[in-house]
């Protein structure tokens, strides 16, 4: 999503809150009770909509893809890949158990 740059000055209240302008919330799809991730980086605070991964297997597949693109020493891969396979097997077991219920 491409948005127009918006700037605003807001004061922090006594509870540490900052109001995100309504037009910016609307443009970014931030509704009441939207979970937000807050990260400090260098001299900035970064807010992003938090989107939990619904399917842990997707994370495992992504991790496997990242490892395949990285230039890890062979010894590291010999330790990492079995661990990923184990986690994947555990997750698939849980998925099969939940499908059986």
Domains identified in the chain and CATH numbers:
1-50 (2.10.260.10), 56-100 (no CATH)
User: Angle at which helices 74-100 and 56-69 pack, to 10 degrees?
Assistant: 160
Predicted local distance difference test score (pLDDT) of residue 98 = 46
Predicted local distance difference test score (pLDDT) of residue 3 = 55
pLDDT at 101 over 70: no
pLDDT at 35 over 70: yes
pLDDT, tens digit (0-9, with 9 covering 90-100), for 49-59:
876 655 677 77
For residue 45, what are the β-bridge partners? 40
Q: How many CA atoms lie within 13 A of 49 on its CB side?
A: 13
Segment 15-39 mean pLDDT: 92
Pick the range with the lowest mean pLDDT from 25-39, 40-54, 65-79, 84-98: 84-98
pTM over 0.75: no
- Return the C-alpha torsion angle 59, 60, 66, 68, nearest 10: -160
**Is the distance from CB of 65 to CB of 58 less than 8 angstroms?**
no
């Amino acid at each position: 999503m491409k948005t127009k740059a918006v700037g605003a000055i807001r004061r922090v209240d006594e509870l540490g809150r900052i109001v995100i302008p309504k037009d910016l919330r609307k443009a970014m799809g931030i509704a009441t009770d939207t979970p937000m991730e807050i990260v400090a980086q260098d001299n900035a605070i970064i807010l992003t909509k938090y989107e939990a991964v619904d399917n842990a297997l997707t994370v495992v597949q992504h991790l496997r893809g990242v490892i395949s693109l990285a230039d890890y020493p062979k010894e590291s891969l010999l330790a990492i890949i079995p661990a990923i396979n184990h986690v994947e097997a555990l997750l698939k077991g849980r998925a099969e158990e939940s499908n059986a219920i």
